[in-house]
Structures are given as C-alpha cells and as structure tokens.
Amino acid sequence: MNTLLMSLTIMIMTHEMPKLPYANNALEPVISQQTIDYHYGKHLQTYVNNLNNLVPGTEYENKDLVTIVATAPDGAVFNNAGQVLNHTLYFLQFAPKPSQSEPTGKLAEAIKRDFGSFENFKKEFNAAAVGLFGSGWAWLSVDKNGKLHITKEANGSNPVRAGLTPLLGFDVWEHAYYLDYQNKRADHVNALWSIVDWEAVGKRMK
C-alpha cells in the first residue's frame, strides 16, 4: 500500500467496542454471563463491525458516533450507528455493586423537579419501557434547558435525533433479556434498577 493510501486509511474513523468495567458474570443474577456473552459479545460486536464496513467512502467515514446518529437518514448506517451508541451507553451504565441506590446532586434535583419524586420517575420510566410495542429502548434524557424527558425509541433510534442528551437507557429488545426472563419484560426492567450506576449516569448530565 502506498503512503497516500495508508494516510487515507488512517484518517477513516474506526468505531470500537466499549470496554466493560466489570467481568462478564459480574451482573448476575440480574443479567447472566450468557446474556452478556451474546448481547455484548455478539450483538454489539456485529453492529460495530457493520458500521465500520458501511461508513468508508460515505460522508460519515470521519464523523463521530453521535453526529452519525443525529444526522444520518433512516437506513443501514443509522440503524447500526444507533445500536452502537445505544449499547455503549447501556453497558457502561451498570455496576455489580453500585455505590448509590438512587441519583444524587444535579440529576436528583432535576428528577424531583420534573417527576415529583424518584419513585414516581421510576414508575413513569417502567411504564415507557414495558409499554413500548415491539423492539426498542426507553430513555431518560435532558434537553438544552436542563429539563428531563422520558422517551420511547423504536428499534435502534436514540434521543440525540431530537436534540436531547441521553442519560439512562433500558434495552427492551428481546435479545437483551430473553435468556434470563423469557417473555417477562417487566421483570427484566424492574431488576435493572438494582445495577444502575447512578454515579456514571449523573456524569452524563452536563
């Protein structure tokens, strides 16, 4: 490969798998090692591989992940980029033994202001996650004015499409929970609260 081609190759942004801050079995019994092996190790890896194969030669080859998700039209690039972003945020928001059982500081104040209480927020979030028809995500996001929003996002979409900053996301695609909970989506959603790393989620709120 000549020097020019080498330099062009280096310039293309490569999207990578997020490094898990815990062992594959560390979230048991909420999320089993088998689910992590498949969900993180196979599903997410496929989205990353697909995205890296799709973007070269397009206007998105040197764009960061958030920009791609926010601006790409519906289609293969958007679908795979959305799932890379979604799953990166998802897997990095958990901890085997979170230091906090609920949010503190700025995020806690915003939740109380916009939802009345943390418990009421959880009820509304659970309803969004359990009530979403088909595959998708429930998200807590913040807008440019600091107001919090709970949204349902179909398939691989993300709140950045609406100019929001995602803070917390629950995956309700069946591959996220079927090995552990079969068709009991509500049980999966309820269990996830015990492993949310509120310190990590709070840092996402600018």
Give the mean pLDDT of the chain: 93
Q: From residue 12, how far is each of 17, 48, 66, 69 by CA, in Å?
A: 16, 14, 16, 17
Separation of alpha carbons 109 and 140, rounded Å: 14
Separation of alpha carbons 32 and 68, rounded Å: 31
Range of the domain at 182: 103-202
Based on the fold, state whether residues 198 and 108 are members of the same structural domain: yes
* pLDDT score of 13: 65
pLDDT at 6 over 90: no
Whole-number percent of the chain with pLDDT over 90:
91
- 187 in a labelled binding site: no
Domain harbouring 61, CATH code: 1.10.287.990
pLDDT at 5 over 90: no
Based on the fold, state whether residues 86 and 158 are members of the same structural domain: no
How many other CB atoms are there within 10 angstroms of residue 94's CB atom? 22
Q: Which two tokens stand for residue 138?
A: 């429930």
Based on the fold, state whether residues 71 and 144 are members of the same structural domain: no
Complete DSSP assignment for 59-78: TTTT--HHHHHHHPPTTHHH
Contact 96, 22 (CB under 8 A): yes
- 171 in a labelled binding site: yes
Q: Is residue 3 part of a domain?
A: no
Give 142's strand partners: 148, 165
Banded pLDDT at 3 (limits 50, 70, 90)? very low
Q: Looking at per-residue confidence, does 10 or 21 come out higher?
A: 21
pLDDT at 157 over 90: yes
- 149 in a labelled binding site: no
pLDDT at 8 over 80: no
Q: What is the DSSP letter of 138?
A: E
Banded pLDDT at 206 (limits 50, 70, 90)? confident
Q: Which two tokens stand for residue 101?
A: 């059982």
- 175 in a labelled binding site: yes
CA atoms within 13 A on the CB side of 159: 21
Based on the fold, state whether residues 84 and 107 are members of the same structural domain: no
Whole-number percent of the chain with pLDDT over 70:
94
How many other CB atoms are there within 10 angstroms of residue 163's CB atom? 10
Q: Is residue 182 part of a domain?
A: yes
Q: Is residue 95 part of a domain?
A: no
Q: Is residue 166 part of a domain?
A: yes
pTM over 0.85: yes
Q: pLDDT tens-digit profile of 82-123? A: 999 999 999 999 999 998 999 999 999 999 999 999 999 999
Q: Tokens 């092996």 — which residue?
A: 37
Look up residue 167 and give its amino acid: L
Based on the fold, state whether residues 123 and 157 are members of the same structural domain: yes
